[in-house]
A and B are shown apart, each in its own frame.
Chain A
């Protein structure tokens, strides 16, 4: 080794070790690692799907299964009387509502026609009529008590 070479080595050794990594280097590596991992797992789920798709369809039916179902179905056919009763009640709902509406309309018309033909209350003597009505009401209410007096 010449003197020049030794000098060069000396200088080379004297240079301090630069352990500095480029900025964002670890992030870049981690991105690659994640991508690799994702590719691997994607492959795993593709493998899973391949396996699942290759599973043959098992359409085996237990012996006399249809007989079992038919027995249940026939039991269902002999219905509970309460279910039949509730069905009848539901069917009666519509006619009952119809009758109710009709009765309400008739009574409304009737009350209107009586108020039209007998205008008992006028605006002027409404207070007077109210008093008369109250008196009548009292008489009617106390009529039963009056009768009780005679029983003593």
Chain B
């Protein structure tokens, strides 16, 4: 109950002030950070995972890791950068762990009700949940065919419109590695899309 009693002036606190309070022993202040960042973290996790329970697991890991490592946060850079980097790395670790069990053949990812070509051309209507679900299914089908590193880079570069430098800062990978990965990601994506289209032609 005590965690819901957030004072009005608490909204004015900066991330760094909240972090200092948490490090100083005010554990309840951590809830403010959760409330502040959870929509963004859920949004990010949904780009990499489809299953809602997987998404919740990852977000939970991100916040518990943040709490455990908050003492190591040096206030030289904004908390947001540190936190987003931790979030991206946790997502990447989770993707790697899950990819060990992921072996889905292309035929399992074909749609029964509609052709792949048709779905590719249907830009989803934000108000139509069905079209959104269909588009999400298609995007996921392609994304699971791409390696984890490439998937991270492709999502950040092509879908979020981040620069190579930003991706490098967020992932902790070198600029040259991100560049190479971006090239590979594009190629892997092209191959995955092509594979689906070819499969459909042969059916």
Those of B93-144 within 8 Å (CB) of chain A: 120-124, 126, 132, 135-136, 138-139, 142
Stretch at the interface among A73-81, A85-93, A129-137, A140-148: A73-81
A59 CB contact (under 8 Å) in B42, B121, B193: B42
Across the interface, which residues of B come within 8 angstroms of A67, CB to CB?
3
Interface locus among B56-64, B74-82, B167-175 = B56-64
Question: Which chain B residues numbered 13 to 42 have a C-beta less than 8 Å away from chain A?
Answer: 27-28, 30-31, 34-35, 38-40, 42
Question: What is the chain A residue whose CB lies nearest that of B136?
Answer: A55
Q: Contacts of A14 on B, CB cut-off 8 Å?
A: none
**A52 partner residues in chain B, CB cutoff 8 A:** 139, 158-159
Q: Which of A4-12, A40-48, A102-110 lies at the interface with chain B?
A: A40-48
**B130 to A: closest C-beta gap in Å:** 14
| B194 interfacial by beta-carbon distance below 8 Å | yes
State the interface size on chain A (CB cutoff 8 A). 31
Chain A positions within 8 Å of B8 at CB level:
none
A62 to B60, CA, bound (A): 12
Interface flag for A34 (CB, 8 Å): no
Query: Which residues on the A side are within 8 Å of B34 (C-beta)?
Result: 65-66, 69-70
Q: Which of B39, B60, B158, B189 contacts A53 (CB 8 A)?
A: B158
Chain A residue at minimal CB-CB distance from B197: A44
Instruction: Check A76–B64 contact: CB distance below 8 A.
Output: yes
Q: Tell me the dominant secondary structure on chain B's binding face.
A: helix
Whether the pair B56, A58 counts as a contact (CB closer than 8 A) is no
User: Is A61 in the interface zone, CB < 8 Å from B?
Assistant: yes
Residue contact A66 to B126, C-beta cutoff 8 Å: no
Given contacts A65-B56, A68-B60, contact A58 B43 (CB under 8 A): yes
- Interchain CB contact under 8 A, B39 and A61: yes
**A residues less than 8 Å from B39 (CB atoms):** 59-61
A-side interface mostly: helix
In the complex, the answer to whether A44 meets B120 with C-beta atoms within 8 Å is yes
Cα of A147 to Cα of B132 in the assembled complex, Å: 97
Partner of A77, one of B27, B42, B121: B27
* A73 and B64 contact, CB distance less than 8 A: yes
User: Chain B interface (Cβ within 8 Å of chain A)?
Assistant: 3, 27-28, 30-31, 34-35, 38-40, 42-43, 46, 56, 59-60, 63-64, 67-68, 120-124, 126, 132, 135-136, 138-139, 142, 158-159, 186, 189-190, 193-194, 197
Chain A residues with a Cβ under 8 A of chain B: 41-42, 44-45, 47-62, 65-70, 72-74, 76-77
The 11 sampled A-B contact pairs (Cβ below 8 Å) are A41-B193, A45-B193, A49-B158, A53-B158, A56-B124, A56-B126, A61-B42, A66-B35, A67-B3, A69-B64, A73-B27
The 7 closest A-B pairs by CB, nearest first: A59-B39, A59-B43, A66-B34, A45-B190, A57-B43, A69-B63, A41-B194
